[in-house]
Chains A and B, each alone.
Chain A
Amino acid sequence: DSGVTQTPKHLITATGQRVTLRCSPRSGDLSVYWYQQSLDQGLQFLIQYYNGEERAKGNILERFSAQQFPDLHSELNLSSLELGDSALYFCASSYLTGGQNEQFFGPGTRLTVL
């Protein structure tokens, strides 16, 4: 158990809908990362927050947004969902000490868009 929690575990929804994925980082970790993992794309970095502020952005679509709250939990919002958004979404957290950055991954949320 990494100490990172993600809810829900599974999510089934329809195209065009909007969903929110939630992540609670390990106690003491200030940084939260979101990744998308699909069968043919591997692990794609979406976005990183550090202590409430956006720090790095990857291949995140404009239909997706995220935020980190004062209690350090984070939410990833996915809107106007398309079939291709079906994937595993992982949250990871780290304390972030200079260049050394061990990320602890949560169990993931499996999103299925029908």
Chain B
Amino acid sequence: QQQVKQSPQSLIVQKGGISIINCAYENTAFDYFPWYQQFPGKGPALLIAIRPDVSEKKEGRFTISFNKSAKQFSLHIMDSQPGDSATYFCAASLGGFKTIFGAGTRLFVKA
């Protein structure tokens, strides 16, 4: 019940295309859903986050879509750029404690 399932494991997208990463969770008590971006040799960094009372949040080219009834959320990267090539982690948190991360998606954007 504490798992966050993330797919796909890896993703190759052409420059200018849309990258879509999906996550699913079980525990309906989770109240905060962040996405982290990690470049090689660096620690993860917060990209964008959403609360379950919101169905969509957009920041620049990054959008989170949240489906509470399906217990799923996804990250959309519009106009994907080679600089977006990184590993993306979805996560779910309960009251600020014990954040559970998905397994990660390696995104490669071809120039």
What is the interface of chain A, defined by CB distance below 8 A to chain B? Answer: 2, 4, 31, 33, 35, 42-45, 48, 55-58, 90, 92, 94, 96-108
Contact = CB atoms under 8 A, between A and B. Distances in A.
Contacts, number: 68
Q: Is the interface of B mostly helix, strand, loop or mixed?
A: strand
B101 interface: yes
Given A100-B49, A100-B96, A42 B43 contact: no
Interface in B32-46: 32, 34, 36, 41-46
Nearest to A55: B97
Interface residues of B, number: 24
A106 B49 contact: no
Contact of A105 (B43, B49, B51, B102): B43
Contact of A101 (B41, B44, B45, B99): B99
Given A97-B96, A103-B46, A45 B101 contact: yes
Contacts of A105: 36, 43-45
